Structure 1
Amino acid sequence: MIYCCEEHVDLAIDTVVDEYETFPQLTKIKEEKKLSTTCEYCQNNAIYVVANE
């Protein structure tokens, strides 16, 4: 599971596809959790969760 901002969503999708060889699920983070969750590629607020299941 990768938390990412709008800018890094493509990178997160590519990472999940490379690691798990499956199409990832893209889920938008709920408003209350957005404030405390940061992108794994930069320190901006995360908007999406990219996961293999």
Structure 2
Amino acid sequence: MIKCCEEHVELALDIIVDEYEVAPTIEKIEGNDLSTTCEYCQNTAVYVVSN
């Protein structure tokens, strides 16, 4: 599971596909998790990309 901002969502998708060789799922972060930061920068995470 990778939490990322809009800028890094494509990178997160590529990493999930490379590691797990399956189509990833993308979920928009809502509610209390909006304070979570992107795993690649310090921006606010908007999406959770997982397998």
Q: TM-score range by the shorter chain?
A: over 0.9
Instruction: Return 5+ residue gaps in structure 1 as ranges.
Output: none
TM-score under structure 1 length normalisation: 0.92
User: Could you list the per-position Cα deviations for residues 19-48 of structure 1 after superposition, in whole angstroms to 9, with x for gaps in the alignment?
Assistant: 00000000000132112x100000100000
TM-score under structure 2 length normalisation: 0.95
For 1:34 and 1:12, the matched residues in 2 are separated by: 18
Match of 1:43 in 2: 42
> What are the within-5 Å matches in structure 2 for residues 1-53 of structure 1?
1-35=1-35, 37-52=36-51
For 1:9 and 1:31, the matched residues in 2 are separated by: 19
Instruction: Return 5+ residue gaps in structure 2 as ranges.
Output: none
For 2:39 and 2:33, the matched residues in 1 are separated by: 15
Give, as a single letter, the amino acid of the residue that structure 2 aligns with 1:40.
Answer: E
Identity of aligned residues (%): 63
For 1:17 and 1:3, the matched residues in 2 are separated by: 15
Give the superposed CA RMSD: 0.6
